[in-house]
Amino acid sequence: MEKLLIKGAHVLDPSRGIDAVMDLLIENGHIAALGPPGSLVAEETLDAHGKRVVPGFVDMHTHLREPGYEYKETIRTGTAAAAAGGFTSVACMANTQPVNDNRTVTEYILEKARLEGSANVYPIGAVSKGLRGEELAEIGEMAEAGIVAISDDGQPVRDSHLMRRALEYASMFGLPVISHCEDKSLCPGGVMNESFVSTELGLNPMPNACEEVMVARDILLAELTRSRLHVAHVSTAGSIHLVRDAKRRGVPVTCEVTPHHLFLTDEAVRSFDTATKVNPPLRTAADGAALREGLRDGTIDAIATDHAPHEQSSKELDFSMAPFGLIGLETAFPLCFRLVKEGVLTLPQLIAKMTIEPARILSIPKGSFAIGSDADLTILDLEKSYAIDVGKFRSRSRNCPFGGWEVQGKVVCTLLAGRIVYEAENAREHSVQAARSSQCLP
Amino acid sequence: METNAHFARKDILGLEDLSAEEILTVLDVARSFREVSEREVKKVPTLRGQTVINLFYEPSTRTRTSFELAAKRLSADVVNFTVSESSAVKGETLIDTARNIESMHSDIIVVRHPVSGAPQLLARAVKSSVINAGDGAHEHPSQGLLDLFTIKEHKGKFEGIKVLIVGDISHSRVARSDIYGMTKLGIEVTVCGPPTFIPVEIGKMGVRVTCDFDEALAETDVIMMLRIQKERQHGGLYPSVKEYARFFGLNRDRLSRAKSDVLIMHPGPVNRGVEISPEIADCTQSLILEQVSNGVAVRMALLYLLSRGAYGKAAH
């Protein structure tokens, strides 16, 4: 029997209300026991004094790009980036080539992840065949194969009737419908937020309303069908208002926010840096304040990265031709830790929104140190300050607007089912002390 | 030519970046260059041995020719490099193209691009000086400067002059460069058009906004009519050319209600009978062709100042 003891860390598991210095025993890759310091023993130990140990983060909105766009990211590199960011589970969107709209693609992704992954991969199936918004994909077969939600992310379902049917049909399998809310007819050729900045730059604008119109529609359809809706990457004050109001009425709706919508505004586009071109676009400071309020009062359930890798050459195009999207797995935690320092969230609240909350939305047994669950965990050094170095990312892509940012709170080690899948440089000397490193560190 | 004014810039990307002093320097230098174009031998050796590349991603006759003439009158070697949209679509990035061009040892790249911000990308990627000859709906600094030059020639000052810019402000790079330049020099700017043509929060740029052309007309010293740019519209911005002309076209009837010494300008090319009626475009108050002549002088000034500023070498 293989045992590993994580010693002396401050264990934080919001799902179980644990927030104390404890020892954590891993047996055969599972959480075996938690106890007061010194109460548990194992031959192998990992000394994590002064560190926080939290359940591995869950990202419910990632683009792994495989199959089809392996020059942007692969399951291998994308999950390595996840591990480096402290994520042990990621849900990957269906806009691959071919689209994940049938069980064969779902099975391929799962098999590839089993062979090469440094994180658990949960595929999200397409709502419609080929993301064309015309007819439903084989949702039931994909559910059998292992999808955890359906979404036409990036190609919002225009047809309201199809959206209604998708919500109804998916409910049969207990799957939420994740909606990228954007009425594209309201922002023809749009590349950035509509504001004084778009006026000055002369870039085609995307008003807040083009998101909110669809948030409102989808909430009404979720209410009509009593089916679960999850609104992806809310970015506007109006969306927060709509979701808050819907939750008050008891509509089964949840939503997520990305770090970039919290920590950047459309002012960043003035650089014409294509890494700031993202959809939904970076909004105003007033929207950022509303998102914070949404986090504070629980309107926003989860933090998700919308990690969207793109090869360098596509981002060297001009602003209108460059694709939307930026990568976020390796910067999410240190950025979001600012929310704790700002007083928006407590640390347990932040960790919950990166672990148990997204796991609940996707109905996956993750984000918790429940006894017997997989030993997926992340060790954090909250005191450590450093500058974000895009050059060191594990992701295959580099489209990140946070390079050079000074941040605090570092992922020092990530374990997947008890196995170390990421360890920060110099972590051995400075933080994680392995008593018998040759055995416990691969 | 001698000027003591300080002008140490690598690029000219927009009038948002230039100070009032720098703008006035350009205008002073342009004034002395205008005389060159009126000589029998229209050439000075100022930029001899330097290479100017006109890199145009958008069809343009007027601006490209104007830059070409300006460079030739300064004795620079000029190459016109027109990039079809299709080759951009094929995947050569803007930065790749620019690096290729620079390998031919260019000194100044003049770029026109349909997308806002393309000259900024380019300027960061190359060592050559970059002049923005129009990017998307963002800026067209040489046009803004020649508009200022033309106003100064006729009004003798900027402070307190009232300019009315009429038309599709949303899609106009000329409007933006005009607004930046004019407000810096104390001109009072009003923009006018249907609300579908007015971008959000434009008042923050220091301009007054109105939809009432007739009301705004009465007080104005200069009317700047913008071309209705059909190619940049995504539909639904106005019902018909006929209706647009009725509310926002400049015709004899409207002009009769303006100040008697009002000046009429237009960045061209003119849609006769749409934003401006034919007899008005050709009347004595119309400065449209004079703007074109002044454009060459202003562009000579820009090329001259960059060739000096970027490399620190005296032209004479």
Domain boundaries, chain B: 20-140+294-311, 142-291
3-state secondary structure of A101: coil
Q: How far is CA B198 from the centre of its chain?
A: 19
A306, A374, A376, A381: the catalytic one is A306
Q: What are the b/e assignments for A8-33, b being 16+ CB within 10 Å?
A: bbbbbbbbeebbeebbbbbbebebbe
Which residues have CB under 8 Å from B231's CB, separation 6+? none
Residue A214: enclosing H or E segment and its boundaries? Answer: helix A208-225
CB contact under 8 A, B117 and A313: no
Quote the crossing angle between the two packed helices A285-296 and A237-248, to the nearest 10°: 20
Chain A interface includes B88 (CB < 8 A): yes
CB pairs under 8 A between A and B: 73
CB contact under 8 A, B16 and A200: yes
Which residues have CB under 8 Å from B103's CB, separation 6+? none
Nearest C-alpha neighbor of A59 from the set A234, A296, A307, A298? A307
Active site (annotated) includes residue A218: no
Alpha carbon separation from A297 to A251, A256, A291, A292, A294 (Å, rounded): 17, 13, 10, 9, 5
**For the purposes of burial, counting CB atoms within 10 Å of the CB of A296, is it exposed (0-12), middle (13-18) or buried (19 or more)?**
middle
CB contact under 8 A, A200 and B115: no
3-state secondary structure of A372: coil
Q: Say how far apart CA A333 and CA B117 lie, in whole Å.
A: 32
DSSP strand pairing (A18-27 vs A30-35): antiparallel
Shortest Cα distance, chain B CAs vs residue A23, angstroms = 53
Whether B142-291 and B20-140+294-311 are alike in CATH topology: the answer is: yes
Average confidence (pLDDT) over A367-372: 98
Q: What is the pLDDT along chain B (316 residues), one digit of tens a residue?
A: 444 456 889 999 999 999 999 999 999 999 999 998 888 999 999 999 999 999 999 888 899 999 999 999 999 999 998 877 655 555 577 888 888 888 989 999 999 999 999 999 999 989 999 999 999 999 999 999 999 999 999 999 999 999 999 999 999 999 999 999 999 999 999 999 999 999 999 999 999 999 999 999 999 999 999 998 665 555 778 888 888 999 999 999 999 999 999 999 999 888 888 899 988 888 889 999 999 999 999 999 999 999 865 444 433 3
Residue B93 has a pLDDT of 77
Chain B residues inside the 8 Å CB shell of A317: 88, 93-94
Alpha carbon separation from A442 to A262, A421, B245, B291 (Å, rounded): 36, 9, 76, 73
Chain A interface includes B121 (CB < 8 A): yes
* Residue A408 CB neighbours (<10 A): 15
**Residue of A205, A316, A320 with shortest CB distance to B115:** A320
Shortest Cα distance, chain B CAs vs residue A154, angstroms = 21
DSSP-H helix ranges across chain B: 20-37, 62-73, 85-89, 94-102, 118-125, 141-155, 173-184, 213-217, 241-248, 252-255, 278-281, 288-311
Shortest Cα distance, chain B CAs vs residue A201, angstroms = 5
Shortest Cα distance, chain A CAs vs residue B176, angstroms = 7
Chain B interface includes A316 (CB < 8 A): yes
A interface test, pick of B121, B132, B169, B229 with most A CB neighbours within 10 Å: B121
**Residue of B16, B93, B135 with shortest CB distance to A316:** B93
Chain B interface includes A346 (CB < 8 A): no
Residue A173 has a pLDDT of 98
CB contact under 8 A, A200 and B95: no
Residue A299 has a pLDDT of 98
pLDDT tier for residue A438 given thresholds of 50, 70 and 90: very low
Average confidence (pLDDT) over A2-19: 96
**Residue of A195, A201, A271 with shortest CB distance to B138:** A201
* B20-140+294-311 fold: Rossmann fold (3.40.50)
Residue A281 has a pLDDT of 98
Residue B81 has a pLDDT of 86
Secondary structure letter of residue B146 according to DSSP: H
**Residue of A202, A203, A316 with shortest CB distance to B95:** A316
Chain B interface includes A270 (CB < 8 A): no
Residue B231 has a pLDDT of 58
B interface test, pick of A186, A270, A317 with most B CB neighbours within 10 Å: A317
B142-291 placed in CATH 3.40.50.720: no
Average confidence (pLDDT) over A290-308: 98
CB contact under 8 A, A194 and B120: no
**Residue of A188, A196, A316 with shortest CB distance to B201:** A196
Q: Say how far apart CA A232 and CA A180 lie, in whole Å.
A: 5
AA identity, residue A318: D
CB contact under 8 A, B117 and A198: no
pLDDT tier for residue A433 given thresholds of 50, 70 and 90: very low
Chain A interface includes B205 (CB < 8 A): yes
Domains of chain A: 3-53+373-440 (2.30.40.10), 56-361 (3.20.20.140)
